[in-house]
Amino acid sequence: MLLGDDKIEQIDQAGRHILAHAGVRLLSEGVLKRLHEAGASVDLNEGIVRFTGEWLDEIVGNAPRMFTLYSRDGMHDLNIGSGSVYFGNGGRVFRILDMNTGGFRLTVLKDVAHTARLVNLLENIHFYIIACQAHDISSEFYHLNDFFQAFRNTSKHVMGGCDSLQGVRQMWNLACAVAGDEKRLQSEPFVSVITNPISPLTLDNNTLEILEFCALKGIPVTCAPAPMAGATSPVTLAGTLAQMHAESLAGVALTQVFRPGAPVLYGAVPTAMDMRTMDLTFGSVETAMMNVSAVQLAKRYHVPIYASAGMTDAKTPDIQSGFEKGVSLLLVGMAGAEFIHLAAGMLDSGNSISYEQFIIDNEILGMVYRVLRGIEVNENTLAVECVEKLGPGGNYMMEDHTVEHMFDEFFFPSLSVRMNFDLWKERNEPTPLSSARELARELLQNNEPVLSPDEIVRIEKQFPDIVNV
């Protein structure tokens, strides 16, 4: 781990001090009154709630340690809190690096469909977050259409941010129709919702309404603060972590006030500013370090975490995107975060996506999972008898032991260049990027929906504002 228990203890205590003394501003008189009735320290005049020690521990203690984020096919369920590490993409960007033109353009609804399809087919990306803004859809029916394209094109768990109570209701009604009825959706929720407090230490009425709606309906949710060190939180990493921790615990506590036992993820999207230029540095090593520390803070409360990794400030899939992504994905994965978003497809400080980047990140994640799997050490893998049999100068190529283990011991990349120079020249000098582009085109040619034709017709009749792409 990055920080020792004593340092995590200090950050935890600093966050708790912030909650107890500075408090959190809630822009909802109704929620403030409910918190007062629940035993919190509330100043109705200032609109601030202060979370004190024993009350905070009791309320946060109601949050489940384990729950399942379901897939619709039952083959990609995410057992959150079980010790498994799951990676998924990130979402709500407004721009895409078009692999056909090489230039950037605004994202449209078809990009939601395409990214959902890619995630559905890529084995190392375990859940889908609504990837981008559909600029060709009116805001009134935005959530209806982007969640429909997600459900239409992937059977993996779907998560998305909702802009309003109207939007989350659209998502809920649609998901109930896909599930068959409300009871089935509540028993195995295959969709979850992202909300975000406003750093520092503020939650608006809109966010609170969405949090409450999800908690009451049994839809898993995260309230994920995104403080920027030097801008919306202290410039020091420890100070940003303390403030973020306060905001994250407040989000967990609020869901448990709305409904004890509601499935919730401790949210963490800490970032930093380049203080020389005032630019956001999503791909900085400091951002990765803070996310590793956030995992340690969440584990202190036995609450599963919605962490961040795989970000880059690079504008294209290049060397910079490779080293920034690789460092953060490996660090946060090794820290044991249960649910890691932003891990695939992202570029440009979280403002852009790229189809090719999804393919490349899937390969990076394959390497990360190989590291997480570790080295199996037992009598068979130590191969002492095999070594003794062959002795000095032996050749292992045709040994049964080699055949037995050759395919499960190694990660075999599909994009990396592993061929001699002459063959590489003969094949027109392929690169990981050119191979990723070719594979993305191949995968997107398969536009078979995961919903059946009958299901699509039934849902489109029920929701006439759904747009076909």
Is the per-residue pLDDT at 1 higher than 80? no
Is the per-residue pLDDT at 469 higher than 80? yes
What percent of the chain shows pLDDT beyond 70?
100
Nearest to 305 by CA among 83, 37, 53: 83
The model's confidence at residue 91, banded by pLDDT at 50, 70 and 90, is: confident
Is the per-residue pLDDT at 323 higher than 80? yes
pLDDT in tens, 21-31: 999 999 999 99
In this prediction, residues 349-378 reach a mean pLDDT of 98
pLDDT in tens, 137-173: 999 999 999 999 999 999 999 999 999 999 999 999 9
In this prediction, residues 32-50 reach a mean pLDDT of 96
The model's confidence at residue 415, banded by pLDDT at 50, 70 and 90, is: very high
Place of tokens 């394209």: 149
Which pLDDT score, from 0 to 100, does residue 447 have?
78
What percent of the chain shows pLDDT beyond 90?
98
In this prediction, residues 63-72 reach a mean pLDDT of 98
Enumerate domains of the chain plus CATH numbers: 5-60 (no CATH), 67-373 (3.20.20.480)
**What is the chain's Cα-based Rg?**
23
The model's confidence at residue 405, banded by pLDDT at 50, 70 and 90, is: very high
pLDDT in tens, 246-284: 999 999 999 999 999 999 999 999 999 999 999 999 999
pLDDT in tens, 183-215: 999 999 999 999 999 999 999 999 999 999 999
Nearest to 332 by CA among 263, 273, 375, 283: 283
Is the per-residue pLDDT at 244 higher than 80? yes
The model's confidence at residue 380, banded by pLDDT at 50, 70 and 90, is: very high
